[in-house]
């Protein structure tokens, strides 16, 4: 209870609002996934079981797409594992918020793009942990509820793409990302990543273009690296100028003598 009260205290203002928006969008996409899976001829229990045990939207969509198209289940599983390979660096990045024992296992299960993104965006350790767990657990609940609702309604509404449900989640994520694009290095890497993903989308399975877009990350690192030395040199120039051009001691003494009150 003490931990819950502390989490509620930390999650206030913009952070709580942003997490709530992602939960809402994720629930809507869950409805879409459940309806698409059942509308593709799969049993109602399959998308529900996937959501409980796998809990990875891109991998689940890819798995269902391969199975519905008549593909091999082993190939579908391997494709899902490949898409989720990004979770390996995620674990190194937010290992400090997972804890130990059963908490570590539970925290690993709710490790998805959104929970990791919210955790990494926080500078305070307590706020990082609260954001990660609130987003991860909240998304697990909303996703599974949405998938169950969509699976039940899948026979009645099979073409969920016509309703535009798939666009809700990317739209919310874009709204959250836009403020960080003010940084030139981040914006440059994002534009290159978008270009890579768009080029790869027609020729690669779903999820892989996003992985390829990560190749643009070194661009941001390079741009930040070249900008940092320039800042340091500018600071050194200011410091040296301060030492090279001291104020004339005579004038300063005269001013102080003529105007003692100042």
Q: List pLDDT tens digits, range 76-129.
A: 788 778 778 878 888 878 888 887 788 888 888 888 888 888 888 888 888 888
Half-sphere exposure of 27 (CA within 13 A, CB side): 13
Report pLDDT for 262: 42
Residue in the structure block whose two tokens are 């874009």: 174
**Crossing angle, helix 125-153 and helix 14-39, to 10 degrees?**
30
Report pLDDT for 139: 94
Backbone angles phi, psi at 42, to 5 degrees: -85, 155
Contact between 49 and 64 (Cβ < 8 Å): no
Report pLDDT for 34: 87
Distances (CA, A) of 20 to 31, 102, 231: 17, 26, 38
Q: What is the DSSP letter of 245?
A: S
Q: Where are the beta strands (DSSP E) in the chain?
A: none
**Crossing angle, helix 45-53 and helix 125-153, to 10 degrees?**
170
Quote the CA–CA distance of 193 and 183 in Å, as a whole number. 15
Name the residue among 200, 193, 198, 196 with its Cα closest to residue 217: 193
Residue in the structure block whose two tokens are 């320039």: 230
| pTM of the entire predicted model | 0.61
Tens digits of residue pLDDT in 42-51: 888 999 999 9
Report pLDDT for 163: 60
CA angle at residue 81 from 80 to 86, to 5 degrees? 105
Quote the CA–CA distance of 116 and 181 in Å, as a whole number. 19
Q: To the nearest whole percent, how much of the chain has pLDDT over 70?
A: 69
Cβ contacts of residue 65 below 8 Å, gap of 6+?
205, 206
Cβ contacts of residue 38 below 8 Å, gap of 6+?
44, 47, 150, 151, 154, 155, 158
Q: Which residues of the chain have pLDDT under 70?
A: 1-12, 157-177, 205-208, 210-211, 224, 226-262
Distances (CA, A) of 13 to 17, 153, 177, 222: 6, 35, 18, 34
């Amino acid at each position: 209870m003490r931990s819950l009260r502390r989490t509620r205290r930390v999650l206030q203002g913009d952070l709580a609002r942003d997490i709530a928006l992602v939960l809402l969008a994720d629930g809507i996409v869950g409805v879409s996934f459940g309806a698409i899976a059942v509308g593709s001829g799969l049993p109602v229990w399959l998308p529900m079981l996937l959501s409980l045990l796998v809990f990875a939207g891109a991998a689940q969509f890819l798995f269902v797409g391969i199975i519905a198209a008549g593909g091999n289940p082993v190939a579908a599983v391997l494709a899902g594992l490949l898409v989720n390979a990004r979770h390996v660096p995620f674990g190194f990045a937010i290992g400090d918020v997972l804890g130990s024992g059963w908490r570590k296992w539970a925290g690993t299960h709710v490790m998805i793009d959104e929970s990791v993104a919210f955790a990494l965006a926080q500078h305070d350790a307590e706020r990082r942990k609260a954001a990660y767990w609130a987003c991860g657990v909240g998304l697990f609940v909303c996703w599974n509820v949405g998938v169950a609702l969509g699976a039940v309604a899948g026979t009645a509404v099979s073409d969920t793409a016509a309703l535009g449900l798939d666009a809700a989640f990317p739209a919310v994520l874009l709204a959250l990302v836009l403020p960080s694009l003010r940084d030139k290095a981040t914006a440059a890497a994002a534009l290159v990543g978008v270009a890579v993903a768009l080029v790869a989308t027609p020729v690669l399975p779903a999820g892989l273009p996003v992985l390829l877009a990560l190749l643009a990350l070194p661009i941001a690192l390079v741009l930040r690296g070249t900008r940092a030395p320039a800042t340091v040199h500018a600071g050194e120039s200011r410091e040296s100028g301060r030492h090279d051009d001291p104020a004339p001691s005579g004038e300063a003494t005269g001013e102080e003598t003529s105007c003692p009150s100042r």
